[in-house]
Chain A
Amino acid sequence: MAILDVNKLSISFGGLHAVDGFTVSIEKGELYGLIGPNGAGKTTVFNLLTGVYKPTEGIVRLDGQDITGKNTIEINRAGIARTFQNIRLFKDMPVLDNVKTGFHNRYRYSTLTGILRLPRMHQVENTLNERSMEILKVFGLDKEADVLAGNLPYGKQRKLEIARALATEPKLLLLDEPAAGMNPNETSELMDTIRFVRDHFDMTILLIEHDMKLVSGICEKLSVLNFGRLLAQGETAEVLSNPEVIAAYLGQ
């Protein structure tokens, strides 16, 4: 069964159909790409999937559960996590605390427990520290656990953002232009990281990307958006050789 099943998802802002009838089905463990020219509505799709925008039409199912129109917190709990096009880490917080923030909904203790510093708080915080360090180790960030996130080099900030998203224990991970602003070396390292995340965490990943090398290198399937509509969909090689897709990218 598909992890993500989207049917005729649409949203209009005033008269503008930013996304119009977007349909996609992503299987568990798939690495799926969403591409399209600037302003095609890719990030809007992400905002619809994560509950930032409410769709005007359409249905979104995550692992069989209808999550259409739910708010960001409910969707986070249901199991969708994301990273951002322009990195949005909590820059003034240490690297470790950024990941711990990701676990926010997975471990609970009451505010009073926190204020009174009861044993339960220490117990949960210790578990959080251990689990967060495990994730940081996977990304090779464990040595920088106490560094402020804003002081990390760019490539590591990207990794930390993925680590923080994984801490929410998602079923589906959305990456918004993970290679933006990276040089070819960093990009190829990122490709390894994404593949590794998929294999190590048994994760399903949907990513938006402009870097065709990355897209053709790691995505198994693609959807192409143009002016909010689906232009093509299918196996990566097939889609990329589609004349309409080429035309849309070259602007003909």
Chain B
Amino acid sequence: MSFLTYLKDGISLGSVYAIIALGYTMVYGIAKMLNFAHGDVIMVGAYVVLMMITRAGLHPLLAVLIAMAACTVLGMTIEMVAYRPLRKAGSPLAVLITAIGVSYLLQNIALLMFGADGKTFINVVSLPSLSLFDGGLVISGTTIVTILANIIIMICLTLFVKKTKQGRAMQAVSEDRDAAQLMGINVNGTISLTFAIGSALAAIAGVLLCSAYPVVTPYTGAMPGIKAFVAAVFGGIGSIPGAMLGGILLGVIEILGRAYISSQVADAIVFGVLIIVLLVKPSGLFGKNVQEKV
């Protein structure tokens, strides 16, 4: 039974990675940049929820909605202030370094505001746990909500991208920015929307992550952010189903590695997976093979 328990924990953690990876993969697919500050938006989301519940005494669900709104505004602001001016002028490297800068900025603002000590997170999920196999496998309410949230988000996002006008604009900008613009699509607006959606999802991921591992520090988002990035590359960066599968696989690998091999090298295993994927299939599981034109 312990294997099933580990598997369940892996899928649960992986679902959080998957939700974070969506933000990476969408921004990469549409804006062609790696937003390394994405992980820290998760941390901001978690702090906002915590403050809203403990200081303002709001209902958890309302707190989550406020955190999503706050992260959406944050994501759009970061894009507008830090990345947009560099998009035309700079090299991709300039944007990448700026993203790392924004990441440190967010961490340090949080450090200033909340201090370095971890704050205990309040579990916002008030669902009873599910007991299977005569108590052999107990699935907590948080795990159920996490997995369900992942599935719902994935379906909604796929429908949005494939079946709406704004989603088509995203695909068009992703494929050929100039041609999209000449069809009357607002490229800056579309990229901004991508950041908005990614950041709102990051808030959800923050809440789910901190409900399962109930401590928030200014660095809470950093490691899951990097791992979600690995998950996005694993699944094929730019691909929505890739992010989902990559995230879940990575979560399972991490938990099983921690359980059966060593908890100290679990992270090394995760990044080892990245190296192997890059060696064997550089475009990831669902990635397209890009042929260089000569």
Q: Which residues of A contact B (CB under 8 A)?
A: 50, 52, 72-73, 76-77, 81-82, 84, 88-93, 97, 100-102, 104-105, 107-109, 111, 114-115, 117, 121, 124-125, 128, 164, 168
Contact = CB atoms under 8 A, between A and B. Distances in A.
Contacts of B186: 73
Given A93-B175, A114-B160, A117-B159, A76 B182 contact: yes
A72 B181 contact: yes
Interface of B: 156, 159-160, 163-169, 171-172, 175-176, 178-186, 193
A105 B172 contact: no
B163 A90 contact: no
Contacts of A97: 168, 171
6 contacts: A82-B182, A90-B172, A91-B175, A102-B183, A104-B169, A104-B185
Given A111-B193, A115-B156, A164 B183 contact: yes
A104 B190 CA distance: 12
A90 B176 contact: yes
A217 B152 CA distance: 57
A106 to B, nearest CB: 8
Given A73-B185, A108-B165, A114-B164, 13 more contacts: A50-B182, A73-B186, A76-B183, A88-B179, A90-B172, A90-B176, A91-B175, A100-B168, A101-B172, A104-B168, A104-B169, A109-B165, A115-B156
A81 B182 CA distance: 7
A84 B179 contact: yes
Residue among B159, B181, B183 with max Cβ neighbours from chain A (10 Å): B183
Given A90-B171, A111-B193, A104 B165 contact: yes
Contacts of B175: 90-93
A210 B73 CA distance: 51
Contact of A52 (B165, B171, B178, B180): B178
A93 B167 contact: no
B183 A104 contact: yes
A121 B169 contact: no
A72 B180 CA distance: 10
A90 B156 CA distance: 23
Contacts of B183: 76, 101-102, 104, 164, 168
Contact of B171 (A92, A107, A111): A92
Nearest to B179: A88
Nearest to B163: A125
A175 B163 CA distance: 29
A121 B166 CA distance: 11
Nearest to A80: B182
B165 A114 contact: yes
A121 B156 CA distance: 14
A82 B176 CA distance: 15
